[in-house]
Structure 1
Amino acid sequence: MAQHKLKHGILTLLTGSLLSTAVFAKDNSKSILLAISKTDHTLVFVDPQTLKILGKAPVGEDPHEVVVSEDGRLAYVSNTGSGKFHEINVIDIPTMKALPSLDTGALLGPHGMTYVGGKLWFTAEGSKSVARLNPKDGKVDWIMGIGQNRTHMLQVSADEKQVYATNVDSGTVSILDNLLLPPPIPPIGKPLPTAKPQMGWLQTVIPAGKGAEGFDISPDKKRIWVTNAHDATVSIIDIPTKKVIETIDTKTLGISRAKFTPDGKRILISSLRTGDLLIYDTTTLKELKKINLGKGAAHILIEPSGNRAFVSCTPAGYISIIDLQKMEISGKLDIGPRPDGMDWAPAAP
């Protein structure tokens, strides 16, 4: 595990890094690209315009995903360890320096992450759970058991009332809704006159396909596209009804990630097994283009402008850059062996 462990007394250090309360707008013209090298155990800072490496910071033994805080000052890197590790690394973005890591304790195998409402939300693959961590004190303040196998990727609605997660080995998608529930009724007698409705989480488990792994939510928040790695299909879930309404046979095994373009008209789907990047029209549900990127394609990051996509080709050892107007490879980026998770961070003023 990384040397930087969460210790009692780091509150001042973390709080000092969170003084800015402004929400970072991920405009790639004023941003830098963060990308993980799994072999080098580093988080790499890249100028997306010149493609020059600006710096590197050390991370843990098995880094997978990276997410940037809303104020743009901190980056978090999950270390999964096949569901056994319990470490999330913290990187100060302005200085590109590692801060003390966060220990998730019994929440084993942190993987998918998102930062919403000033909190870090993450999946715990080894504990079949999703959880929320308060970065100000490094403590987990909410846990929800999913009861599904290998809870993997995660998204949370802006109002924090819906949580979405894929469960790879169960082949399902979990949707958690924080609802106003009626007061509980005692087993004997009448309801207490003082009992009031209370907020409570309800889970809907939706069968998808074998190896339900990556997913993305459409910009209009109406659809979820889920990649099913083991049967080469995509399940399209209608969010209001929480039902699968379409299943697409991509004929491409190992599809692992999905990402909508900012306008929602297209979606990119990567295959870790074949190295193909599929581009689909989200209205006709037809494949527009298949681009082979090499030995394997994983994480997808699209510029807010929608002009380019960056795709981590983990087995091949580089990041492919895709011109989304021409739908073709425009370049390659070398940040170190086995690149994986990526995100945007603010450039220095």
Structure 2
Amino acid sequence: MSLLDRLKSPPRASLDTLDAKERRRVYAIAQFVFLTHQLAHLWMKRSSFMFATIAIAVALIALYPRLRERLATSRPRLLATSAAVYYLFVTLNLIPFFILVGMSNPWSLPVTAVIVAAFVTAHRAGYGVGAFVGFLMLGVALLVYAEPHLVDGFGALVVLVAALWGAGAYAVSRPRALAFFPTTPLAYFVATMTLLPLGLVHYSGVNPDLLEKIETQPGVRAVYGYTDNAPLQGRFGTRIMFAAPMGSGLLFSPHDGAETVYLVTDDPITSERNIEFLDVQTRGGDRIVIPPGEPNHAYLGGRGQILMLAAEPLRLVQRIPIDGRLVNNLRLNAERGWIFGSPEGSRSVMRLDIETGAVAYSEAADPRLWIEDVVLDNIGGDFYALALAAGRVVIIHGNQKSLTLRRTRVLDGGLGIFLEIDPVDRRLYLPATFTGELKILDTETLEERDRVPLEVGIRDLTFDAKRRVLYVAGYFRGGLYALDVDSGRILGKLDLGPALKPPQLSDDGR
């Protein structure tokens, strides 16, 4: 028998030729492949529902074969509808992988498409075994590539991905399994297992090779590592939303899957580095607010609450309840003592009175809108909120004192989720993430003034009002741009690695 013959799948036949036990085995194998990428995605996000979902998945793998067999004979339309809903769900679940990998490297998605197409073609031509053997070899190569790039706890994901590949190999090696295996679930499996290692490399942190490139760039004064260097080794991981100056140190806010705030300080005499940690029982938002004249205090948005923190020592001073949504971005009107926030997915802007602790909400916007960010014009007393609606960006203009909405405007193109304002020159800045352009809007008319091309994947903005410099961070590719807002000139760019979070400014601007 030739090698080509050995790589061919068993002849295709009807499932009716199998006995009940073998049919259930084939269905169970298919269900395993259906669920693989969902479990991997949940693990990558460290979702709070991860373990419950895995338990449900195990139950589905055990029960689905019998249920499907009954539905196929008694409720074929219900079975077809269930399959359609399921494939829609898994497609939506794959979208974050496509965005994460595709935005960070434009070649990733075309290469993945070629791999999937080659696998599907070989499978339909009767060479499913050979295609899967080839894909497993590719998987080993991807793991070998990914492993040295992973840091901290993400190294454990190599074991997870390897286990998934091994389980898939065992599943399809069962006698006659590939003869009855549907092409679609295998295509999903191949796409997921190709993208997962690439996504992990992008999202896991900064590996030593990349760190060396970052350190040697002109303009980089120092790089601090907090997971691999003593004495802080292993004290906290990579699930950090941002680091911001607070007191005499840096405050680290927790991202999804983490609920601990860290404050890192250096002893001014001994230069010994110290770390304090506080369990706040919520993930943090994207920005903190430092009250005027109180550098040792900070307000941090959380899920269903706003936290007032104090430094030296790090402690929770107050937990201010709001509605159950996550408050991502906080903005300060220092003169009035107001903090504004954008509860994630809400139709209203939130206002907190620092002195009284009273929380109020603006008028509700159109129910089809999803507010992502809010910025303040403290000169004119207005606010501008960025909302999303069916893939379109909407700017909402309102009054800070009355919390009434004055107008809304739907923008053409330029999807983004963060906003910044220059109240002196009355301009709004919106990063168009997928086109890589910075859009500049007039606050009076909400019409577009100009566009500045930067890089695909820009997302976060920080405005240095004292020095008239806007910092634009590339979340997907790691470029940090400094833009002179008066001249429109790009002052410089640094490549700081993937998954770049919002830049924070020190008081001296350095």
Fold match by TM threshold 0.5: yes
**Alignment match, 2:470:** 309
Please say if 1:213 is aligned against 2:372: yes
Q: Provide, for residues 272-296 of structure 1, a one-character-per-residue CA deviation record: whole Å limited to 9, x for no partner.
A: 3443211112233321112232222
Measured after TM superposition, the shift of residue 315 of structure 1 is: 1.0
Residue 240 (structure 2) aligned to one of 63, 68, 76: 63
Please say if 1:152 is aligned against 2:328: yes
**Alignment match, 2:393:** 232
8 A contact 1:57–1:97 mirrored in 2 = no
**Alignment match, 1:40:** 206
Measured after TM superposition, the shift of residue 176 of structure 1 is: 2.4
8 A contact 1:91–1:98 mirrored in 2 = yes
Report which structure shows greater RCO (CA 8 Å, sep ≥6).
1
TM-score computed with the length of structure 2 as normaliser? 0.49
Measured after TM superposition, the shift of residue 132 of structure 1 is: 0.3
5+ unaligned residues in a row in structure 1: which ranges? 4-36, 45-49, 180-198
1 CA distance for matches of 2:266 and 2:396?
36
Residue 142 (structure 1) aligned to one of 310, 313, 318: 318
1 CA distance for matches of 2:329 and 2:357?
22
**Change in CA separation of 1:228 and 1:41 when aligned onto 2, cut-off 3 Å:** farther
Please say if 1:89 is aligned against 2:267: no
3-state SS of 1:299 partner: strand
Choose 199-208 or 231-240, whichever is displaced more: 199-208
Measured after TM superposition, the shift of residue 66 of structure 1 is: 3.3
**Change in CA separation of 1:93 and 1:158 when aligned onto 2, cut-off 3 Å:** farther
Residue 344 (structure 2) aligned to one of 168, 185, 204: 168
Residue 52 (structure 1) aligned to one of 203, 215, 219: 219
Residue 122 (structure 1) aligned to one of 300, 303, 316: 300
Q: Provide, for residues 129-151 of structure 1, a one-character-per-residue CA deviation record: whole Å limited to 9, x for no partner.
A: 11101113322111122114222
Please say if 1:263 is aligned against 2:424: yes
**Change in CA separation of 1:343 and 1:211 when aligned onto 2, cut-off 3 Å:** same
Larger Rg: 2
TM-score computed with the length of structure 1 as normaliser? 0.70
**Alignment match, 2:403:** 242
Choose 95-104 or 263-272, whichever is displaced more: 95-104
RMSD: 3.5
Measured after TM superposition, the shift of residue 55 of structure 1 is: 1.1
8 A contact 2:432–2:459 mirrored in 1 = yes
2 CA distance for matches of 1:149 and 1:39?
28
**Change in CA separation of 1:261 and 1:153 when aligned onto 2, cut-off 3 Å:** same
Measured after TM superposition, the shift of residue 103 of structure 1 is: 1.9
Choose 137-146 or 297-306, whichever is displaced more: 297-306
8 A contact 1:264–1:282 mirrored in 2 = no
Q: Provide, for residues 100-148 of structure 1, a one-character-per-residue CA deviation record: whole Å limited to 9, x for no partner.
A: 1432332344543112133111011xx3111101113322111122114
Measured after TM superposition, the shift of residue 348 of structure 1 is: 11
Between Structure 1 and Structure 2, the one with more strand by share is 1
Choose 224-233 or 260-269, whichever is displaced more: 260-269
8 A contact 1:87–1:101 mirrored in 2 = no
**Alignment match, 2:381:** 222
**Alignment match, 1:339:** 500
1 CA distance for matches of 2:506 and 2:353?
30
Q: Residues 105-116 of structure 1: matches in 2 within 5 Å? A: 105-116=280-291
5+ unaligned residues in a row in structure 2: which ranges? 1-45, 47-150, 153-202, 212-216, 227-236
Amino acid at match of 1:86: E
2 CA distance for matches of 1:41 and 1:232?
35
Q: Provide, for residues 188-241 of structure 1, a one-character-per-residue CA deviation record: whole Å limited to 9, x for no partner.
A: xxxxxxxxxxx5524224434633112211131611111114431111121121
8 A contact 2:387–2:395 mirrored in 1 = yes
Measured after TM superposition, the shift of residue 265 of structure 1 is: 2.1
2 CA distance for matches of 1:93 and 1:52?
23
2 CA distance for matches of 1:88 and 1:254?
31
**Change in CA separation of 1:290 and 1:66 when aligned onto 2, cut-off 3 Å:** same
2 CA distance for matches of 1:98 and 1:90?
11
3-state SS of 2:418 partner: strand
Please say if 1:203 is aligned against 2:360: yes
2 CA distance for matches of 1:63 and 1:54?
22
2 CA distance for matches of 1:108 and 1:292?
33
**Alignment match, 1:184:** none
1 CA distance for matches of 2:432 and 2:496?
20
1 CA distance for matches of 2:404 and 2:255?
30
Give percent identity, aligned residues only. 13
8 A contact 1:229–1:253 mirrored in 2 = no
8 A contact 1:169–1:212 mirrored in 2 = yes
Measured after TM superposition, the shift of residue 61 of structure 1 is: 1.4
3-state SS of 1:76 partner: strand
1 CA distance for matches of 2:225 and 2:353?
37
Between Structure 1 and Structure 2, the one with more helix by share is 2
Measured after TM superposition, the shift of residue 330 of structure 1 is: 4.7
Matched length: 285
**Alignment match, 1:29:** none
1 CA distance for matches of 2:380 and 2:278?
33
